[in-house]
Structure 1
Amino acid sequence: MDAAGIEAFVAAVAALDDAELHSLMVVRHGHVVAERWWEPYAAQTPHLLYSLSKSFTSTALAFAVAEGLVDLDATVLSYFPEFDARVTDARSRAIRVRHVAAMASGHDDETLDRARVAGDGDLVLGLLLLPPEREPGTFFAYNQPCTYALSAIVQRVSGGSLTDFLRPRLFDPLGISGYGWRKDRLGREIGYAGLYAPTEAIAKLGQLYLRNGEWDGRQLLSPEWVEEATRAHVATVRPEPDWDQGYGFQFWRARHGYRGDGAFGQFMVVLPEADAVVAITSQSPDMQGVLDALWSHLLPALTADGTSALSRPVPGGPVGAIAPALLEPGPGNGVTALLSVEVRPGELVLTDKGPAVTVPLGAPEAWTTTGPVASAYAWADGRLLVDVVFVETPHRLRLSLDLTGERFEAQWQTEPLGGPKLAQLRRPD
């Protein structure tokens, strides 16, 4: 491949206003031909995948179907007979497993909040208690409870969690480690999001699908399943060109190949035409911009026969003394959940309504990492500017600390979805 295409892609993404790469792996003809992590991220660090988790859930479904534990043509309700008397709508009762796999439950739009209320926290019950506006199987709507239903079915028929089910079937055979999946209050791994895994895990799952289910001489998934899961089952009418190519079983069709993706630019792009897989983690709300750059620069490099630094706080002015202080929110604070910032020798302590989070402070204008948190700092206009990166997620918190006035201001570069506590911005144990 043309190595210049890698650099052109990276430069094109860097030029976007709303995109920031954290990692990149490119696999072609079964070999890693390029890999890069941007400090403070690292190869072994798990990363929150958001909705890219859905493609792993789909793979769990594949194993359950192959083993006769789940029938794609059975109704969702049939796996939850305890709800039978409460679900009376004919369309709700007709929703099949294949319908929720393809985001085609018949609902007009996202039902997550309504389903959570209707089901008193059980998204399967909530989904079934909300009558679909259309016939199941006929209409696409990106709908988190659909994927949750898949994950709940697999967990029910297997008697364990998704990770328990996938460990001997997927994670161990592919040599994937360092993963963890968020659970809801019912103890279920949520399926539609919440998976933490390193970049290599994304690349390996993509390679498994690129090879039609074969891994190291073993046929883990059938070629028929790979074809069924990655073809368009339902049309998607979306303004972004790479979200308007149809939807499979928790996979998006794209202008080139197909992919799994997650909020803020977590990508698994499978390119059969180039015999390649591209794995990306990032903090990139402009996801279409990242794909545009991939098609313009990286794809031509693949079809033709390191480490950098993230931006740090802008330095300016002399380095000041970091004296101990307890800071309260200032008038420009944009993160109301952050209650205080305590400055201690060599560290900050951030307090919200959850457990306090300790942030290391090392040398000025250099990244210092402790566990799931990294920071870099600089001085500007008499304020201490600190970037706090939660390295197992796409998210960065920017702090401006007025040590003399004992006030702080904070802003998320990309705000975490679901409003988690700071201490929850890490892979679950």
Structure 2
Amino acid sequence: MKKYLLLCCTFLFLFLVLTSCGSEPEEPVYKSYKWELSNLTAEGFNAELVNSGFNEAANTGYIYSIVIIRNGRIAAEKYFQGRSPSSFQTIRSVSKSFLSALYGIAVEKGIISLDKKLMDYFPEYKQNITDPRVNNVTIDHLIKMRAGFKGDQEFYFTFTNSSDWVKTILSSQLSFDPGSRMQYSTAGTHLLSALLTSACGKSTFDFAKENFFGPCGVDVRNWLKDPQGNYFGGNDIYLTTRDMAVLGLIYMNNGMLDGKRIVPQDWVAKSLVTYSGSSIIPWGNLNKVGYGYLWWLGEVNGYKIFSAIGFGGQFIFCVPSLNLIIAIQSFPNSDWTTADQQERNILNIIANYFLPAAQ
């Protein structure tokens, strides 16, 4: 009897091993926004110019995808380096413009007020402050990049390599008095994420899924966190290029998506006002450079634009007068100088090919 039981157990074991070896682990199923598909001719483009732009993009070697949307429909898209519509990656600082949308929702819900002091939300870190000016920083300063925290090239790797990002940022010396001028600082936007978590009692990601991504029908593929579990404010959301472009569609439609209110209309309007910038010094093809609520503003080829821009050439480039959105993903891990050149080159392709093609 024992031999019989042993034989049965042996056969059962072998069966389980063999069947488990033959099955592949299931890939996660992600939701994506359902875009209406069109074509270049139907949306009024010069197809030859667009295709020439795609060829220029292919020759760079660092542009991975381009999605061109007009009148709310995908007119054309092109993928390089083995990418496809389902491919996703970090969108780098394009994440900041998504964070701005979350703040608009939180303000409307009464969770946050822009005139509140930053340190009202971090009492546990008050003893770590070494620069008393930190006590004067408001949420309004942070959302406009006017808080005074150190810029990215000086400070980014200092706080992201620390064991407590929020503590490291709050205990740092400010570069200038809060509100006196602008300085682009991912340290400041990370505080916005940690602050939102403190204010609403749930993670920034959970708040985003409930109030933004869920209603849009989009699943975030990944979002990195700091050692304390705060989702990275203003960096490292992972999305497909198509899903990234949804934010542009929402802002082009004053906060609406498919008849649903996603972002408050007055927040969209306030976000696209220039609070800092230069009407004299251009950045590549971008003239009259300005900054709103975590959105870049300006003019390209004489057209007023607003854009989310991420390190290395991640773009949601929006031209309201042409009803045009161009979403682009590129190699995100270059050094500072190379990343800046990639971004400028992409703007050059937009200015020389895609904008003229849409006229």
The reply to whether TM is greater than 0.5 is yes
Match of residue 208 from structure 1: 250
Alpha-carbon separation, structure 2, partners of 1:271 and 1:225: 18
Alpha-carbon separation, structure 1, partners of 2:84 and 2:126: 48
SS at match of 1:69: coil
Partner deviation per Cα, 1:22-66 (whole Å, 9 max, x = no partner): 111111111111122225211112221111111111111111111
Q: In structure 2, which of residues 283, 291, 294 is the aligned counterpart of residue 240 of structure 1?
A: 283
Whether 1:296 aligns to 2:352 is yes
Shift, 1:218, TM fit = 1.8
Shift, 1:87, TM fit = 2.7
Q: How does 1:120-139 map to 2 (within 5 A)?
A: 121-139=163-181
Cα gap change, 1:60/1:123 in structure 2, threshold over 3 Å: closer, same or farther? same
Shift, 1:101, TM fit = 1.3
Q: Which amino acid aligns with 1:5?
A: L
Q: Which amino acid aligns with 1:250?
A: L
Alpha-carbon separation, structure 1, partners of 2:276 and 2:195: 22
Q: In structure 1, which of residues 287, 293, 308 is the aligned counterpart of residue 343 of structure 2?
A: 287
Shift, 1:243, TM fit = 8.1
Q: Which has the higher helix share?
A: 2
Q: Percent identity?
A: 26
Alpha-carbon separation, structure 1, partners of 2:51 and 2:228: 46
Alpha-carbon separation, structure 2, partners of 1:15 and 1:44: 22
Cα gap change, 1:96/1:210 in structure 2, threshold over 3 Å: closer, same or farther? same
Structure 2, unaligned runs of 5 or more: 1-43, 333-338
Question: In the alignment, is the contact (CA less than 8 A) between 2:213 and 2:220 conserved in 1?
Answer: no
Whether 1:76 aligns to 2:118 is yes
Q: Which has the higher strand share?
A: 1
Alpha-carbon separation, structure 1, partners of 2:82 and 2:298: 31
The TM-score, its normalising length taken from structure 1, stands at 0.65
Match of residue 96 from structure 1: 138
Match of residue 14 from structure 2: none
Q: In structure 2, which of residues 181, 186, 189 is the aligned counterpart of residue 147 of structure 1?
A: 189
Alpha-carbon separation, structure 2, partners of 1:11 and 1:40: 15
Question: In the alignment, is the contact (CA less than 8 A) between 2:203 and 2:231 conserved in 1?
Answer: yes
Structure 1, unaligned runs of 5 or more: 305-429
Question: In the alignment, is the contact (CA less than 8 A) between 2:164 and 2:226 conserved in 1?
Answer: no
Match of residue 410 from structure 1: none
Q: Which amino acid aligns with 1:166?
A: A
Partner deviation per Cα, 1:273-292 (whole Å, 9 max, x = no partner): 21111111122832111111
Shift, 1:253, TM fit = 1.3
**Could you tell which deviates more after superposition, 238-247 or 146-155?**
238-247
Q: In structure 2, which of residues 273, 296, 317 is the aligned counterpart of residue 231 of structure 1?
A: 273
Match of residue 320 from structure 2: 272
Cα gap change, 1:243/1:94 in structure 2, threshold over 3 Å: closer, same or farther? farther
Shift, 1:77, TM fit = 0.6
Partner deviation per Cα, 1:4-39 (whole Å, 9 max, x = no partner): 2311211233445xx532111111111111122225
The TM-score, its normalising length taken from structure 2, stands at 0.77
Alpha-carbon separation, structure 2, partners of 1:200 and 1:123: 31
Question: In the alignment, is the contact (CA less than 8 A) between 2:150 and 2:175 conserved in 1?
Answer: yes
Q: In structure 2, which of residues 201, 212, 215 is the aligned counterpart of residue 159 of structure 1?
A: 201
Match of residue 312 from structure 1: none
Partner deviation per Cα, 1:326-368 (whole Å, 9 max, x = no partner): xxxxxxxxxxxxxxxxxxxxxxxxxxxxxxxxxxxxxxxxxxx
Query: Considering only aligned residues, what root-mean-square deviation do their CA atoms show, in Å?
Result: 2.2
SS at match of 2:325: strand
Alpha-carbon separation, structure 2, partners of 1:211 and 1:59: 13
Q: In structure 1, which of residues 259, 274, 291 is the aligned counterpart of residue 307 of structure 2?
A: 259
Cα gap change, 1:99/1:238 in structure 2, threshold over 3 Å: closer, same or farther? farther
Partner deviation per Cα, 1:64-83 (whole Å, 9 max, x = no partner): 11111111111111111122
Q: Which amino acid aligns with 2:310?
A: G
Shift, 1:180, TM fit = 1.4
Match of residue 4 from structure 1: 48
- Higher relative contact order (CA closer than 8 Å, sequence separation 6+): 2
Alpha-carbon separation, structure 2, partners of 1:108 and 1:10: 37
Question: In the alignment, is the contact (CA less than 8 A) between 2:149 and 2:188 conserved in 1?
Answer: no
Match of residue 32 from structure 1: 74
Partner deviation per Cα, 1:286-309 (whole Å, 9 max, x = no partner): 21111111012101222x2xxxxx
Shift, 1:113, TM fit = 4.0
